[in-house]
Amino acid sequence: MNNFFSELEHKTVIVTGGSKGIGKDIALTFAKLKANVVISGRDNQVLEETLKELKNYNNRCMAVQGDLSIIENIKNLIETTAKEFGTIDILINNAGVNIAKPALEVTEADWDTVLDLNLKSVFFTSQAAAKYMSKQKNGKIINIASQMAFVGYYNRAAYCSSKGGLVQLTKALAVEWAKLGINVNAVAPTFIETELTAKMFEDEAFKKDVENRILLKGLSQPKDISGAVLYLASDLANFVTGETLKVDGGWTAI
């Protein structure tokens, strides 16, 4: 039992959006298991601060700055990682954005911002990583989707569309890449209590509505998502592909 997840030691793990929120918690979880973790993000200062924390557990961690809605930055992230570590074992597509607006007020720019990062960048990051994974006939890709892929919610037309597309993309890539030895799965969280959502939960009516929809009392914590990702990245999930694991406290069960 104590040997669970020991196979992740020295694995090369990319976590996009890995400097804040659940991405940071996921990155730390793997670093504590002595994986070589590469985080990406837009803010170089925040990246470097998180990198220092990761290196407390494994000095062979790295940060690559860049907005992944720009394809050239995706290429740089994947090639820099492969050059440094020689391989890419696990990719966690966590980078994402939401622009909360009523559907009647969503602009073309809003739509493109959300879909470009939440869906387009995931495809091209996965494609770039899969070219390396296919050479070794082994790899795990884990997409951070959302419960909003399965239910609708206010002010999230673009976000729901992007995450619904991500669940279907997960299935499509799993079907196509199984023969290459690549498992493709997703995790679909509910609202999570992080420093990034703190301001959102200052709206007491919104917070109450969210809490009322979650069957398990309270708000989800980053470690809840990290646990699901860890399972899918490990040998425990070697026969799992094309699946989306909901971590929503029962929200979508009703």
- Alpha carbon distances (Å) from 157 to 18, 68, 96, 187, 238: 25, 22, 15, 20, 34
Q: 108: exposed, middle or buried (C-beta count within 10 Å: 0-12, 13-18, 19+)?
A: exposed
Q: 3-class secondary structure for 28-47?
A: HHHHHCCCEEEEEECCHHHH
CA-nearest of 133, 161, 135 to 149 is 161
Task: Determine which helix (DSSP H) or strand (DSSP E) holds 64, and give its type and residue range.
Answer: strand 62-65
Per the annotation, the verdict on 57 as an active-site residue is no
What is the DSSP code (8-state) at residue 117?
A: I
The single residue of 57, 132, 159, 231 carrying the catalytic annotation is 159
According to DSSP, the residues that pair with 143 across neighbouring strands are 93, 186
DSSP letter string, 203-228: SHHHHHHHHHH-SSSS-B-HHHHHHH
As annotated, the active-site residues are: 159
